[in-house]
Amino acid sequence: MSELCRITDRETLERQVRRIVADTPVVDLHTHLYDAGFGDLMLWGPDEMLTYHYLISELLRAERGRTSPAQFYAMSRREQADLIWQRLFLDASPISEACRGPLTVFHALGLDVSNRSLDELRGYFADRDPEEYTDHVLQTAGVTDVVMTNDPLDPHEVQMWEDGVVHDIRFHAGLRLDAIICQWAQSQPKLAAQGYDVTPDFSGRSAEEVMRFLRYWREKMDPLYMAVSLPDDFRYPADSLQTRIVEQAILPLADQDELPLALMIGVIRAVNPPLLLAGDGMGISDVRSVERMCEAWPSVRFLVTMLAQENQHGLCVAARKFPNLMPFGCWWFVNNPSLIERITRMRTEMLGLGFIPQHSDARILDQLIYKWSHFREILAEVLVDKYADLMRTGWQITAEEIQRDVSGLCSGNFWQFVS
């Protein structure tokens, strides 16, 4: 190693790590975004950002009954955004992570938030071309590729795929399985109506027919993986309908067709039903079930994220035992700076560089800017400390090695795992 490349002091280390982490392109492996080719499914702009479901639950909490969920949802998008701006940004300082997000976006776009005028901010977005704006956002966020969430039983989306939607190649499909695995009672008649021989109790030819259905959609969407959000009480093995569907159709398909499976575990849907999307909660899940699946299906690749802080350590331990298990992201209720830092530190300590530290879960295009810039700050802090620890042992590090490591975390680990 040449003398010149070596980093020998903390100041240079900090500068180099911050620069590299800020500049390294990322692949966002789980979002709910759609590109402009999907028309009205693509969400962007200030009113969408301000009515993100994370902010809706904060608003309804701040309202304390002044506005009911039903009244809120009956308002126009613009009225909802106005109310959220008033209550969460003007009536109190917007220090929550969900409030900070849009402000980071406005600032990064060069807008002045100091006079607190939402209408002025709206002016910047009026008449923008969605495709040109997509380029701008991806470039500002340093994101090269995103993975969408594509539900083969959503009629609106299905129609677009069937019509041969022409879409942005930077947006990859993720074949979503929640309707099949978690809402079989509603999905079974839909599949039967499409000519698939499936039964309410998942008997007979149901498993092979579900595989046939998913293969059809794999062909159409060319997804990078299949994905499902599972509840906290998901168990494997188990005699539940949910587990039977996973065991008899999903895992064999993942195995035979070499399609990775992303498991997002720990959501309890509709804890407070009138809040709709903002009403989901979480519970502590069972890491042993993940381990048993990894053991029973060694050639299936599992991308796994868990919602409870309490499950993060167990998931790291499981990943140490099973190379076919890739922990990813700080999901939803753990996507907050204090928890991201703790989780990322722990993952580096237990897994070195062998994990995927973050995904955005963005639903609105502009969110890519804040979700990634907030994360990059934390990743840089953690890595500076870890490289500084190495330097204290006499190990010498170079900028090229830091770049190699950060590229792995930001994109390489994902591409390697799914390809």
Residues that bind ligand FIX (CB under 6 A): 32, 229, 264, 267, 277, 280, 332, 361, 363
Residue 48 makes contact with Zn ion by CB under 5 A:
no
277 interacts with, out of Zn ion, ligand FIX, none, CB within 5 to 8 A per kind: ligand FIX
- Of 94 and 266, which has the nearer Cβ to ligand FIX? 266
Give the type of residue at 323.
P
CA 419 to chain centre: 19
332 interacts with, out of ligand FIX, Zn ion, none, CB within 5 to 8 A per kind: ligand FIX
Residue nearest to Zn ion (CB): 361
* CA 297 – CA 71 distance, rounded (Å): 48
What backbone phi and psi angles, to 5 degrees, belong to 252? -60, -40
161 interacts with, out of ligand FIX, Zn ion, none, CB within 5 to 8 A per kind: none
- Of 99 and 207, which has the nearer Cβ to ligand FIX? 99
What letters, b where the CB count within 10 A reaches 16 and e where it falls short, cover 370-394?
bbbbbbbebbbbbbbebbbeebeee
Residues 6+ apart with CB under 8 A from 199: 188, 206
305 interacts with, out of ligand FIX, Zn ion, none, CB within 5 to 8 A per kind: none
Quick one: CA dihedral 333, 329, 47, 159, positive or negative?
negative
CB of 273 to Zn ion, least distance (A): 19
Could you tell me where the DSSP H helices lie in 51-117? 53-63, 69-74, 77-84, 97-108
CB of 410 to ligand FIX, least distance (A): 20
- Of 167 and 363, which has the nearer Cβ to ligand FIX? 363
CB of 36 to ligand FIX, least distance (A): 21
CB of 229 to ligand FIX, least distance (A): 3
Check: CB of residue 38 under 8 Å from CB of residue 165.
yes
CB of 361 to Zn ion, least distance (A): 4
- Of 250 and 383, which has the nearer Cβ to Zn ion? 250
Tokens of 285: 């899940």
CB of 124 to ligand FIX, least distance (A): 25
359 interacts with, out of Zn ion, ligand FIX, none, CB within 5 to 8 A per kind: none
Residue nearest to ligand FIX (CB): 229
Site for Zn ion in 337-396 (CB under 5 A): 361
- Of 7 and 290, which has the nearer Cβ to ligand FIX? 290
* CA 307 – CA 284 distance, rounded (Å): 8
CB of 32 to Zn ion, least distance (A): 6
CB of 271 to Zn ion, least distance (A): 17
Q: Which residues pair with 366 in a beta bridge?
A: none
- Of 83 and 418, which has the nearer Cβ to Zn ion? 418
- Of 121 and 262, which has the nearer Cβ to Zn ion? 262
CB of 277 to ligand FIX, least distance (A): 6
Could you tell me where the DSSP H helices lie in 126-266? 130-141, 155-162, 178-182, 184-193, 206-221, 241-245, 251-256
For β-strands 281-282 and 302-306, DSSP reports them as unpaired
Tokens of 14: 């900090």
At 176 the three-state DSSP class reads: strand
* CA 126 – CA 54 distance, rounded (Å): 24
Q: Which long-range contacts does 352-356 make (Cβ < 8 Å, 24+ apart)?
A: 353/405, 353/408, 353/409, 353/413, 354/319, 354/413, 355/319, 355/326, 355/327, 355/328, 355/409, 355/413, 356/29, 356/303, 356/326, 356/327, 356/328, 356/329, 356/409, 356/413, 356/414, 356/417
- Of 47 and 361, which has the nearer Cβ to ligand FIX? 361
- Of 362 and 383, which has the nearer Cβ to ligand FIX? 362
Q: Under the rule (CB under 5 A), what is the footprint of Zn ion? A: 361
